[in-house]
Structure 1
Amino acid sequence: MNRERYLCLIHWAEGQPARKKILCLLSRILPIVIAGIYILCLLGCLFVYPVLLLRLALRPALCFLTVTVLRKILNFQRPYDVYDYVSLCDYHPGKGCSFPSRHTASAAIIALEIFHLWHGIGIIMLFLALLTGLLRILCGNHFIRDVLAAYGIAFVFNIL
């Protein structure tokens, strides 16, 4: 995506103060909601499907570790550094480590793993994972490629 299109998307997100506040609030709260649901599912798995507890815990942990190491090795710049603007929220100039999005990969692998056990909760989690990726882009913290790569990595870990 070229600079003009990306900045147009960012300007839309920050175009109205209420919209900006909602996007930033969702961006901060959503990871906490996902983590809370994940912990409840881990506890539920402990009592209902103890054999599958290792899978529900191990795959997301391995995905998180892989994405963290990959980000450090590649150290791609974030959109706000490349295009020289202040992101909507969570602005840390010079932070790097943009590719792939760790928030998105974590949300996606958790959603996929939960979907295998409880389809209803899994569908909700998949929606939250999609929303996480969208918010990472709209808030200006990640490029689209960062989010798509995160979804891809989560999918690969899910099928392995």
Structure 2
Amino acid sequence: MKTSSITRVLAVSALAAAALAPAQPALAAEEQFFDPDVACPDFVLGFLPTGGILHTKEFKDRNGNVVRILTAGKGTLNTYTNYGPDPLNRVAGKSVSIRTDGSVTSIKVNPDDTLTYTTTGHFGLIMYPSDVPAGPSTTQYIGRIVFDVDLATGVFTLVSTRGSAVDVCAKLAN
């Protein structure tokens, strides 16, 4: 499954989705599906964020261009599910739900068509095989992470992490 970089980060973070609106009450999301070897090795990963109350503020330069987006609030309940190896015949297997009790995401809009995300609190990140470091991986963090998104190529580059991390794929592996 090919997902644009913006769609991917919105789906995974559930916080960045609020960047599209001034304030967003509880999220009503649809489950996202990632083919085997995209988000997790060997199985289709389902991701469903629910709940959450998010607030977003855009900061603009003197020309009216958005240069930073700040999103904060009560996080979501992120449910990850192993749907087995066949993307056409998904069979729900093991699931894990992780509460994301709160976080702050700052998105810096760079002049070179990249975004720099700095998150504190709870944040889920899916890394594809084309990313740096190469996935497939799905990790739920508590702490601080920084990553860049190249809007031209869709490549995510993990810059740094501090805090704890849960390897979601390992928790769901049968």
User: Normalising to structure 1: TM-score of the pair?
Assistant: 0.30
Higher strand share: 2
Greater CA radius of gyration, 1 or 2? Answer: 1
User: Normalising to structure 2: TM-score of the pair?
Assistant: 0.28
Higher helix share: 1
